Structures are given as structure tokens and as C-alpha cells.
Amino acid sequence: MRNNDVILQTVTRVMTFIILTFAVFLFMAGHHNPGGGFIGGLVFAAGISLLFIAFDLKTVRAGFPLDFQMLAFSGVLIALLTAMGSFLFDQPFLSHTFGYFVLPIFGKTELATAVLFDVGVGMAVLGTALTIIYDIREDISIWKH
Amino acid sequence: MNNVVVLPLVIPMLAGLLMAMMRRNIGVQRVLSVISIALVFGVALKLVQQVRYEGIQTLAVGGWQAPYGIVLVADMFSVLLVLTASLVAMACILFAFQSIGKEREQYYFYSLFQFLLVGVNGSFLTGDLFNLFVFFEVMLFSSYVLLSLGGTKRQLKGTIKYVVINSLSSTIFLLGIAYLYAVVGTLNMAHLSVRIAEIGQGGYLTAVALVFMVVFSLKAALFLFFWLPEAYSAPPTVVGAVFAALLTKVGIYALFRMFTLVFYHQPEVTHTLLAIMAGLTLLLGSLGAVAYRDIHRILGYNVIIGVGFIVAGLAIFTQEALMGALYYLLHDIVTKALLFLLGGIIILVAGSDQLKKMGGMIRGYPFLGWLFLLTTLALGGIPPLSGFLGKVLIVQEGLARGVGEMGFYGLTALALLSSLLVLFSLIKIFILTFWGEARVNRGGEKKEIRGLLIPCAGLLVVSIGLGVGAEMLYPYIEQAGYGLMNPEVYIKAVLSEVI
């Protein structure tokens, strides 16, 4: 019997965008409110996992053509390089700085280098979570055939 | 502020990440590995000189001062360990080039090796208890993967036990940190030491100290060593060698740090217990080394004996004994790696780790035989070689303290007896493998092992250098011993900008 996943797939199409937006919101909230790179990355991974459940692996990979492992490595690399950036200014390792800038749409905005570090964390978490999920699923599909 | 302190972590971390990003390009990975370890060695040499002439180097990470932020502290003790660890890592990585095999190389072997070094160097250099936990985990996670990488049945069996026991001990470590934080409200080691000195190390804090003793004993294979022989014999030779040289030593380092810097107020409880555990470790390790007739197990139990010996130096707790323990620690890092590498080559040549299947290898492999003999003598503590001075200092101080407390005579006797049994167990390997009738590869072709022997010879040169150059090394060891016996030096260096 062929399964018909119309309802699941339709709901997923809508939900995924909400989840991914929420993930970005959580990520950006990290500096002043609960949230941050770790939880942002995990929620993002949850959104992608929902796609994995509703559609098959190949379709999702085609729409999201990133090497998950590379994503994790580059995340850690970004975090490390942000930390090492302080060497250039002869400051202690991991020193961070921030400043206020007037941007076109946002107006006066606080920009902090800690966000760059958080981008690294988020990417590392996302990459790791997706690698784990994808590799386990891939193993199962190999076993079946 | 001295950013050089963080380089022994950052360099291997960066190298490991770059290698992970190009896992198919083995050539580049090899070059990067060598460059990274050589750089760490250079940095460690520079740090040794800085600590020697300018005192303890600290780095308040992110510019947040000592008790509030994380501090990295390079005192002579930790810097010497970083230096020695990078020497051993270099020899092991050169050995790995020719022995580890293409499959493992493609699946992140070199990256994991670098991450292991991050964990080890981080544990040596951190000045914060929770950070120590994190670096322990960095080291352990790399070691889990290195242990299971390749996926043979034996490795999987060994890995499950190793992961379970280490997860358990890490949990106890966290509990200990929680107890300690509940009482003193700080996790910076120097600040911990100050506060414990203020409120006095009563019954509760001594109990917490015992929790830490259990944790680090599990990691260092001090008395709680039941997991070690199997875990260290399962992985490929070079991984076993790195584990034997570095992993237990990090546990020993943590024991030294905790019981000289933080919990030194009740030595009649903590250090007596350490002495008893060291004595039992020496005894049981020696029994194990003598009892078995396969190379893997004999080598595993030799690691355990080394741990017992070093901690005996800590338990005796005089400056000379700590210096002896440090000499022995440096020697043990080098020679245990050497011993495991040579043992691996012997097993490779013989195709088995059972002593009864070997014999007469001196004809085909004379260089290997003499290398093994010299290593054996170094481990036994024969004078011109590296194991001698540490043993002399520990035994001498043990006897001196035995005058007051008879128990230390027993510990010293066990230490001397264990040296004899180490020598016996390794000479047994030497005689049964290298002498007598050739039983391996009879008529078969000779295996090409010259490339594998070069890093071993390099390590032996280091070991001889440690023995012959002991006089040159003495001021450095003395500074480290003085720092360990006088925690206020460390505290002043870390908290000077606050107090």
C-alpha cells in the first residue's frame, strides 16, 4: 500500500518556514533575551528534520545542498577565528568588542563581535545535529537494501 | 597578559579544523600535522624560557580578570609537560604516517590527533576547574573516536567499556565541582586555594577532596585501573602509545594540581590515602606485569606501575619528592610512548602478541632488539638513562619520611620492588622474543620496519637526553617543585591584579 502524505507534507511546507524564522529570531535574541547560537542552531535543525520526516532524504538534500560536516567545521573555524581576531589588536585571546552604528533600515543598531562567535556556534550545532540525523537515516536505508 | 599561553591550544585546534575540511587530501594533512606539532614545540620552548626568567605567565581570556574570567596559567610544571607532550606527539605522528593505513587517515585520524592535543595542552594550561573539566572532555571525546576508529570487533568491545567508565567518572567530576562551588563559590583554582585557606579545610571540604581523588584516580589509573589494560591494547599501536603517554598523565597532572594547590591542608587524610593507593597500584600493577604472557597486557600493567610511582612522589609530599615525581613524569611520558611503539612493532613482526609464539628475532631485527633493551633499562631505572634520577629522589625522600612514619618505608619498599618487577617483566619480553630459536617468519621474508624505527630512535635519544642532561634540567625542575610546594607563588601570579 502506498502511503499518501498529503496532509503531513502540506503542513510541513507551512510549518518549516515558521520554525526556521523562529530559529533566526532566537538566534538574534541571544544578546539581550533568552536565546543564542546553541538553541537557534538546534531549532533550525529541528525544522530541517521535519523536512526529512515529511519528504525523502534525496529531495531535501537537493533543496538544501550543503555538506553538513563542512558546515560544522566552518562553524567552529569561524568561532575560533573570531577569538583569534583579538591577536591583531594585541588584546587577550577571545576579547570581544561592540559599537553602535546607524544602519539604513534598522536605525541605530548595536553590533557586537560576540555575534560572529555565535554564528560559529550556531553553524557548528546545526551541522553536527544534521550530520547525526542524516548519517543514522542513511545507515538505515543502506541496511534495508 | 601574554597571548603566547593560548597558542598551544589554538595551533592544534586550527590545524585540526583545516585538516577536517580536506579529509581526502592526506598529503596536506601530514604536512599540517608536522607543522602544527613543531609550532607547539617551539611555543612551549619559548614559554619555558619566559617562565624561567619572568615568572609564571598568565592570560586572562577575553580581558576579564582572574576570579571572574577564565585564566590560562603557564607555570613551570605545566609548561614542561606541554613541551614533553609535543615531543612525544611528534614521534607518534611520524610513526602514524607509516603504520595507520589509508582508511583511517581518510576518516579524520590526523584531525582527531590534533584535537586530542588540544585537550591535553588545555588541561595542562588551564587555571579554572570547570575549564579543566571541559578540556578533559575534549581530550576524552577525541580519545573515544581514536579508540574506535576502524571498527574492529576488539576496538568496539574496548571502546564501550572505556566510554562507560569515563562518562561515569566525568559525572562524578561534575558533582565534585558542584559540591565545591556550593561551599566556596568560586572555580578559579588560585581563588579556590585562597578561600579554602581562609575557611579551613574541614570535614566537608576533605570529603569533596576525596571525590576529586576518586575522579582523577579513575582518569589516571591510580588503583582504579581495571579498565586500562584492555582499552589500551585495543586500538592501533600508535593510538595506544599516545594514550599510554598522555591520557593517564593528564589525570596525574590534575591530582598534582588539586593536592598541592587547593587541598593541601589535611595531608594526614588526603596524602595518606594517596600513599595507600599508590602502594596498592604499585603492588597490583607489578603482579599484573609479571603474571601475563602477552605483550599487550604486560605493557598495560607497566603504565599502571608508572602511575603508582609518580603518585608515590606526590604522597611523600616534600619538595625533593615532588621534583623526583616530575622527573619521573617527564621520563614516563617519553618512555611509555617508546615502549608501546616498540611493543607494537614486535607484535607486527611476530604477527601475534603471545610470548610463546616468539623467539630469535635478534637475527632479523637487531636494531629493534637493542632499542627495546635500552628502553627496558631506562624504565627499570639504570643510572645513565632517564628513569634513574626520579626514582632516586623519590626513594630518598621516602626513606627520610619513613623515619617519622613507618608506612613510608613500606611505600618505598614497594617502589623499589616494583622497579625490579618492571625490569623482570620487560626483560622477559626481551629474552623470549629476541633470544633463542627463530620461531617467527621461519623462511618467510623480512618485514620492512626501518621507517617505524626512526621515530622510536628519536624518542630514545630524548630519553637518554633526559638522563644525561638531568643536571641541565635541574633548575627548571627545581622551579616547578618550588612552585608546587609553595602555592602562594601560583596564587600571586594569578590574582596579583585583583588583590
Q: State the ipTM, two decimals.
A: 0.90
Domain that holds residue B234: 3-496
List phi, psi (to 5°) of B221: 60, 40
Angle made by CA atoms B492, B493, B497, in degrees to the nearest 5: 80
Where does the pLDDT of residue A56 fall: very low under 50, low under 70, confident under 90, or very high at 90 and above? confident
A140: left (phi over 0), alpha (psi -120 to 50) or beta: alpha
| Cβ neighbours of A96 in B, within 8 Å | 62
Taking CA atoms, A57 is separated from A15, A54, A67, A90, B348, in Å, by 18, 9, 14, 47, 44
| pLDDT for A145 | 43
The per-residue pLDDT for A142 is 52
Q: What are phi and psi of A106, to 5 degrees?
A: -80, -15
Q: Does B443 touch chain A (CB under 8 A)?
A: no
Integer Cα distance of B45 and B356 in angstroms:
45
The secondary structure element, H or E, covering residue B163 is helix B153-184
B13 touches chain A (CB under 8 A): yes
C-alpha B161/C-alpha B228 separation (Å) is 10
pLDDT for residue B499: 55
* Cβ contact B459:B401 at 8 Å: no
Q: Which of B140, B41, B16, B44 lies closest to B91, judged by CA?
A: B41
Round to whole Å and give the CA distance between B208 and B197: 15
The whole-number pLDDT of residue B441 equals: 56
* CA distance between the termini of chain B: 16
Residue A102: how many other CB atoms lie within 10 Å: 8
Beta-bridged to residue B74, according to DSSP, are B57
Whether chain B has a CB inside 8 Å of the CB on A76: the answer is: yes
pLDDT by 10-residue block (mean), chain B, 499 residues: 90 95 92 96 96 93 88 95 96 94 90 97 95 96 94 91 95 96 93 93 92 94 90 92 94 95 92 94 94 92 95 93 95 95 92 84 89 93 88 93 87 93 94 81 68 93 92 94 94 80
Q: List Cα–Cα distances, B248 to B139, B277, B322, B374, in angstroms.
A: 11, 15, 18, 23
Length of chain A counted residue by residue: 145
Residue from the list B6, B17, B61 with its beta carbon closest to the beta carbon of A77: B17
Q: Which of B304, B306, B309, B274 is nearest to B288 (CA)?
A: B304
- Rounded Cα–Cα distance for residues B164 and A24 (Å): 37
Residues from chain A contacting residue B59 (CB–CB below 8 Å): 92-93
CB contact under 8 A, A95 and B6: no
**CA A36 → CA A28, A50, A131, distances in Å?**
7, 21, 21
CB B343 within 8 A of CB B296: yes
pLDDT at residue B351, rounded to an integer: 84
**Residues forming beta bridges with residue B128, ordered by sequence position:** B188
Chain B contact set for A84 (CB, 8 A):
10, 14
The confidence score (pLDDT) of residue B445 equals: 65
CB contact under 8 A, B62 and A74: no
Residue type, B242: V
Integer Cα distance of B31 and B342 in angstroms: 24
Residue B439's pLDDT is what?
A: 67
Is the per-residue pLDDT at A2 higher than 80? no
Compute the distance between CA of residue A63 and CA of residue A16 in angstroms, rounded to an integer: 13
Number of structural domains, chain B? 1
No. of helices (H) and no. of strands (E), chain A: 5, 2
pLDDT in tens, B484-498: 999 999 999 999 866
The three-state secondary structure class of B292 is: coil
Instruction: Name the pLDDT band for A104 (thresholds 50, 70, 90).
Output: confident
Element containing residue B59 per DSSP (H, E):
strand B57-60
Distance between CA atoms of residues B359 and B365, nearest Å: 11
**Residue A91 is nearest to which of B13, B20, B63, comparing CB atoms?**
B63
pTM above 0.90, yes or no: yes
| 3-state SS string for A57-75 | HHHHHHHCCCCHHHHHHHH
Taking a C-beta distance cutoff of 8 angstroms, is the pair B145, B112 a contact?
Answer: yes
Contact present, B412 and B398 (Cβ < 8 Å) = yes
For residue B43, what pLDDT is reported?
96
Cα separation, B24 vs B163, in Å, equals: 28
Q: Is B354 helix (H, G, I), strand (E, B) or coil?
A: strand
Rounded to 10 deg, the angle between the B189-199 and B153-184 helix axes is 50
Q: What is the DSSP letter of B34?
A: H
